[in-house]
């Protein structure tokens, strides 16, 4: 009996130790806070972080559920840095794509107050794009190809790529001389919340 109890307690300790050693995202996968972006090569799964940026995450989810991100271009893509998308006003590839203005628009929803944190910008981090005004993020976001510590604490982190980063790597790049602008850009074909896709 004592041996069985000891084995049981040892197994419990091992399980707890394993759970504590897992990354946070492996412990709290939440379909309501997970978006799936379909790209030309496959699906990218992003875990949203309402714990870091609740207002931004709520706005992204509203735009996703309204279908605003479908067919929107990756208008600014800089190799070794990031891929930017989410201009729902001028970036829709099927409904009013405006090459000269893409990247300057947002959505009909209000701009958001900054929700800066100490969360670092690493490969796969998803951050909100904004103008010089820290409180100007709206619908545009970017996905990091690599680490970008100079962004830490300056831009709101809203999520992290969980899978499909290889498809992000394949997004058509822009010319660095033209600030990464892409002439014939790739796009987010479809964006859904995982809870809605089940």
CA dist 63 and 58 (Å) reads 9
Average pLDDT of span 163-181: 92
Total structural domains within the chain: 1
Looking at residue 176, the DSSP 8-state letter turns out to be G
Whole-number pLDDT of residue 135: 98
Average pLDDT of span 94-102: 75
Question: By residue range, what is the domain housing residue 94?
Answer: 30-197
Whole-number pLDDT of residue 16: 40
The reply to whether 12 falls in a domain is no
The reply to whether 118 falls in a domain is yes
* 23-37, 41-55, 68-82, 110-124: segment of lowest average pLDDT: 23-37
The reply to whether 72 falls in a domain is yes
Residues 126-135 have pLDDT tens digits of: 999 999 999 9
The reply to whether 43 falls in a domain is yes
The reply to whether 1 falls in a domain is no
The reply to whether 77 falls in a domain is yes
- Structure tokens given for 184: 């014939």
The reply to whether 57 falls in a domain is yes
Burial 133-142 (b: 16+ CB within 10 A, else e): eeebbbbbbb
For residue 181, the domain's CATH number is 2.40.100.10
The reply to whether 116 falls in a domain is yes
């Amino acid at each position: 009996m004592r041996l069985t109890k000891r084995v049981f307690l040892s197994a419990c300790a091992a399980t707890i130790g394993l759970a504590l050693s897992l990354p946070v995202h492996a412990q709290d996968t939440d379909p309501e806070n997970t978006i799936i972006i379909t790209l030309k090569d496959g699906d990218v799964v992003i875990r949203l972080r309402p714990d870091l940026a609740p207002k931004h995450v709520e706005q992204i989810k509203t735009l996703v559920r309204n279908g605003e991100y479908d067919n929107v271009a990756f208008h600014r893509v800089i190799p070794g840095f990031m891929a930017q998308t989410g201009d729902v006003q001028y970036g829709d590839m099927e409904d009013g794509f405006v090459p000269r203005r893409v990247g300057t628009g947002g959505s009909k929803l209000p701009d958001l107050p900054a929700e800066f944190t100490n969360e670092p910008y690493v490969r796969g981090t998803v951050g909100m794009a904004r103008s010089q005004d820290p409180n100007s993020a709206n619908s545009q976001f970017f996905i990091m190809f690599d680490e970008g510590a100079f962004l830490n604490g300056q831009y709101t982190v809203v999520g992290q790529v969980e899978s499909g980063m290889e498809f992000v790597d394949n997004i058509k790049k822009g010319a660095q001389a033209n600030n990464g602008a892409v002439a014939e850009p790739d796009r987010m074909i479809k964006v859904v919340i995982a809870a809605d896709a089940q």
